[in-house]
Structure 1
Amino acid sequence: MEKNLSVEDITQAIANVMHPSIDRSLMDLGMIRDIALTGNTASLSLLLPFPGIPILSFLEKSLKESVIPLGVDLEIKIGQMNQEEIQNFLAMEKEAWKGL
């Protein structure tokens, strides 16, 4: 692990993780929350608009790969968006849909 890593370093690393079907990052879509760093383990909450989305494993893999260069492990807690967050997500999805 690099010395003096911060939550900001983790945030910057995952900020580039894009949704595979929407031309927006997971951060922009409001899917990432509660980023933390303890020792050599980072953690975050991945909020889903709907349960059982078929790309969940892809999203988890992409997030974990984004922090590999920092030398940290990533723990991901799965959560559910609230109604307002879902509406914001759907509006961005409609605007930036690129398909699979």
Structure 2
Amino acid sequence: MKDGAIIHSVIFSLKHEKGSTAEQRFLEDGKAALSSIPTVKEFQVFREISPKNTYDFGFSMRFDSRADYEAYNAHPQHVAFVRDRWDQEVSQFLEIDYAGYEH
């Protein structure tokens, strides 16, 4: 990972019925909206397979710098997605942001 890079990941569950069209639409719309923000790199959508937690999905992306990460957080598409979709459709989540370990 490049110096200064950040990996932003969020694991979450949706209020929608598992396997539903609404669930699929949320994942597809999230990918379309968030991956098109210019500072986002390597956007991925994951399905949780571990029985060790209660989350169902994950979004992960990389930013080249702290400034790119901050630009993403403030970007109108991100703000609108959180306000209009995330806050309405997500039942639980855990956000984790990683930077390279410097020792």
What TM-score comes out, normalization by structure 1 length?
0.41
Question: Which of 1 and 2 has higher RCO (CA within 8 Å, sep 6+)?
Answer: 2
Higher strand share: 2
TM norm structure 2 = 0.40
